[in-house]
Chains A and B, each alone.
Chain A
Amino acid sequence: MALPKRIIKETERLMAEPVPGISAVPHEENLRYFDVTIDGPSSSPYEGGTFKLELFLPDDYPMTPPKVRFLTKIYHPNIDRLGRICLDVLKSNWSPALQIRTILLSIQALLGAPNPDDPLANDVAQRWKEDEKAAIQTAREWTAEHAKKA
């Protein structure tokens, strides 16, 4: 199947005008598969961490959202222990007007604004609600442990 022009364009733009704190590089053998890194937003418990993700553009992209998942362990109420992300725009609120770039920005924003009321990782969310300070501390520790900059 041909690689749609849109994917080519998006990729080129990602390369040419990278978003600060975010990188997405396609795999040579599969241009629909991207290695992604997202820097933890400043003044969040993820600050100073660089998180690896994988992103895959399905065949019917952009009619269906990209599949994105954290590879780096992260302590976050909306990211489960498999790295799956609970984010509306990756699911029912997807729109073909969104792009890789916008999705990754959304994810970065999600790091800066965890939402324990809409949890994917129940235990994390519960802790977040019960003892936010401790949860944030754990998130910080995990960041230091797993998401150190190379």
Chain B
Amino acid sequence: MERPERRELMFCHLCENEWYRDEHGLACPQQGCGSDFTEIIEEDHDPRAEEDAPPSIEHMLRNNPHIWGPPADPDEGDISAVQYHTGSPFGGGGHSFTYTSTSPMPQNRNQSPFGTGMPRAGVDEGIASNFFHMITGLINGAGRNNQNPQPQNPMGNTTGGAGFSRMPPNAGPGDGGFRFHYHTNTFVHPHGPQPNADGGFNDMQNVFETLMQNMAPPPPGHPAFGQDQHAGHFADPFATPFGPPGGGGMPGGPFANLLSALINPTNAAHGDAVYTQEAFDRVVTQLMEQNQRSNAPPRATDEDIASIPRVKVNKSMLGDSGSATCGICIDDATIGDEVMKLPCGHWYHEDCIAPWLRQSDSCPVCRKDHNGNVTNHNSSNPNSSGGGDAANAPPNPTGMPSPHNLNPNAGGHFAFPGPFGGPAFAFPGSPTGQQQPQPPQQPPQGGFFGFTPGAPGGFPATGRYPGQGAAGSAFTGSQTYPRFQYQQPSSSSASPSPWPSAAGGMPGAFPGGAGAAEQGQGQSQGQQQDGALSQSTGVGSASGGPSQGIGERVRGMFRRASDRDRELQQQQQQDRDRERDGAA
């Protein structure tokens, strides 16, 4: 049986033109419009009646360039009342969502979305509200099977204090609707339809929502979403806002990730998007880390390294003092040791210099390459004057402020001629060229997160970015920056750290943690110190005074550390043995 034919009426979201599809097709036939942003008007889904509903991204982009434009006044976000009823254009059933945030008083402003650069415990309202929007998006996604239209919420609400109030759907279970009410202040709100074009705030919220909606599939197998109407089920995420992701009955998958991202301000990232200043800082730091060698000299090939002569240390190489150290391991060299001597005259243990050359073809002391040329890829500046004098390299001939200039002497501020026992460096005190520019790594002021390339502003946080110049910055009241996270005991590599690569380093270095330290201390009795330590024993005590205590302490630490190392090695040996046994 064939479906009865019906003329489809089209609607253009851009010019609001209407036409029949069979006459003009899908694109808007209006002269000068021609938009593709059109929609078939359906019985239960009439876009003409929904101009108050949040527009889609395209619509916002066309009609409200402001959202990508200069930062909206962040305070606009403080006074917002969003009537959000879906059904279209996202195709869901009727779900009514009311978000109300009112902060009429200035002192409340710092509570508004992302107002604080470092959200702390106690769910930041910004997070919570964003979270709420996304939940709604997800629910809409999940509830697509549910086609029962839900009437708009006609009520005005009076609530006291801040917090979520979950109001049971007034039509009772089974009517297919959800209603959230999120209130942050005492206020009476007539919830009439509100124009939604009052700035970037709401729009960005909606962008988020839309994205999330498209991105996240309905969480399967979770009765609280899409089917069960009991508002109590939604208590879970909010009852334990800082609980572990996936805990509290939350489903796995994108939703859990999203949730954990949202409720944990230090990890508020989802894909390329971040939601908090902290998360943004982490991304930027990571980028900085990744690029930090981008201006370094190129690597030396294995052939290059093989071509460097190996020599035996002789008396003349030790210099007048009769002793010299390898500049990399700072170990003393003795006559007869085989070392690699670079054309510039500096020499190192092969095991020390080879890894470095593979990474950067430059003498660690004078930065000449394996051919004895000055490594300065900005301005090719061959300099064949060999010899070990680090201070005789010519200044950067470009005369520019020498961004990324690899010649350490170009700025005249850094000279570190070898051997390391002596005064190996000098600061002439001249501020010129004190430091050389790095790539522009500062996040654009006001720019906030990843998916608006080159578009500072728009996001609610914009403008609240705690500026360093401002007296009331994010650090108000705290005298120090927060420390690395890896300092926390029992932090695993999964724990977020402002320095990701550093965070990875610690757990590996001391797998035992504090417990192992104690153990090591006990075992260290009667054990021999290793060679390096016994050599230097007495340094601390020789200096006497308070530093003796420190010296002792440090040696104690080393002892324990070396015990731990030994322990670890033993353990690894045992593991290997066991593996072998298992294999046999």
**Measured between alpha carbons, how far is A15 from B554 in the docked complex, in Å?**
8
CA distance A70 to B479 in the complex (A): 11
Whether A120 lies near B441 (C-beta < 8 A) is yes
Task: Evaluate contact between A30 and B435: CB separation under 8 angstroms.
Answer: no
Question: Which residues A88-124 have CB closer than 8 A to chain B?
Answer: 88-99, 102, 105-106, 109-110, 112-115, 117-124
Q: Is B551 part of the binding interface, using a Cβ–Cβ cutoff of 8 Å?
A: yes
Point out the residues of chain B lying under 8 angstroms from A21, CB to CB. Answer: none
Contact indicator per residue, chain A 6-34, by CB within 8 Å of chain B (1) or not (0): 10111111011110000001111111110
Q: Is B395 an interface residue (CB 8 A)?
A: no
Return chain A residues, CB-CB under 8 Å to B487: 27, 30, 33, 54
In chain B, residues 514-560, which have Cβ atoms closer than 8 Å to a Cβ of chain A?
Answer: 514, 517, 532-533, 536, 539-540, 542-543, 547, 550-551, 553-555, 557-558
Q: Are A87 and B435 neighbours in the complex by a CB distance under 8 Å?
A: yes
Please give the distance in Å from A141's CB to the nearest CB on chain B: 10
Closest Cβ neighbor of A118 among chain B residues = B437
Contact of B436 among A9, A31, A88, A94 (CB under 8 A): A88
**Interface contact tally, CB-CB below 8 A:** 237
Given A16-B547, A78-B435, A115-B431, do A99 and B509 touch, yes or no (CB 8 Å)? no
Q: Is the CB of A97 within 8 A of B557?
A: no
The segment from B25-33, B62-70, B190-198, B418-426 that touches chain A is B418-426
In the complex, what distance in Å separates the CA atom of A17 from the CA atom of B177? 73
Within 8 A of A (CB), among B481-506: 481, 483-484, 486-487, 489, 498-499, 501-502, 504-506
B509 and A32 contacting across the interface, CB-CB below 8 Å: yes
Q: Are A56 and B505 interface neighbours, CB within 8 A?
A: yes
Distance A17 CA – B553 CA, assembled complex (angstroms): 15
Main secondary structure of the interface of B (DSSP, over half): loop
B306 to chain A, nearest CB (A): 19
Chain A positions within 8 Å of B285 at CB level: 82, 84
Q: Give B297 Cβ to nearest chain A Cβ, in Å.
A: 9
Chain A residue numbers with a CB within 8 Å of B46 are none
Q: Does A140 contact B (CB under 8 A)?
A: no
Known: A28-B517, A63-B359. A97 touches B506 (CB 8 A): no
Residue interface mask B422-459, A partner, CB < 8 A = 1: 00110101110011111001100100000000000000
Which of B107-115, B133-141, B406-414 lines the interface with chain A? B406-414
> Is B328 engaged at the interface, CB distance under 8 Å to the other chain?
yes
Evaluate contact between B445 and A123: CB separation under 8 angstroms.
yes
Q: Which residues of A contact B486 (CB under 8 A)?
A: 33, 56
The answer to whether B540 and A29 touch across the interface, beta carbons within 8 angstroms, is no
A1–B547 touching, CB < 8 Å: no
| B330 touches A (CB below 8 Å) | yes
Cβ–Cβ < 8 Å partners of B341 in chain A: none
- Find chain B residues with CB under 8 A from A89 CB: 408, 414
In the complex, whether B288 has a CB less than 8 A from a CB of chain A is: yes
Number of A residues, CB within 8 Å of B: 81
Q: CB distance B293 to A92 under 8 Å?
A: yes
| B424 cross-chain contacts in A, Cβ below 8 A | 102
Query: In the bound complex, do residue A95 and residue B362 qualify as a contact, i.e. CB atoms below 8 Å apart?
Result: yes
Report A67 CB to chain B, min CB distance, Å.
5
Q: Is the CB of B431 within 8 A of A112?
A: yes
Known: A97-B364, A117-B401. A29 touches B514 (CB 8 A): yes
Q: What's the least CB distance linking A124 to chain B, in Å?
A: 6
Residue B176, interface by CB 8 Å: no
Contact at B438–A86, with CB atoms within 8 Å?
A: yes
Instruction: Tell me whether A96 and B514 are in contact in the complex, defined as CB-CB below 8 angstroms, given that A115-B431, A120-B438 are known contacts.
Output: no
Task: Answer whether A82 and B481 are a contact pair too, CB < 8 Å, given A16-B551, A97-B327.
Answer: yes
Given contacts A9-B532, A84-B285, A112-B431, contact A15 B502 (CB under 8 A): no
> How many Å lie between the Cα of A113 and that of B431 in the bound state?
5
Contact (Cβ within 8 A) A115 B434: yes
User: Is A3's CB under 8 angstroms from B565's CB?
Assistant: yes
A99 CA to B499 CA, complexed, in Å: 20
Interface hit among B95-103, B264-272, B466-474: B466-474
Given pairs A8-B533, A81-B466, A109-B429, 11 additional interface contacts (CB within 8 A)? A2-B569, A12-B536, A16-B547, A31-B558, A31-B561, A69-B498, A84-B285, A91-B438, A115-B434, A121-B468, A123-B468
6 A-B pairs, CB-CB below 8 angstroms? A9-B330, A30-B510, A92-B294, A112-B429, A118-B438, A138-B469
CB-CB nearest 6 A-B residue pairs: A113-B431, A97-B364, A118-B437, A92-B295, A113-B434, A83-B481
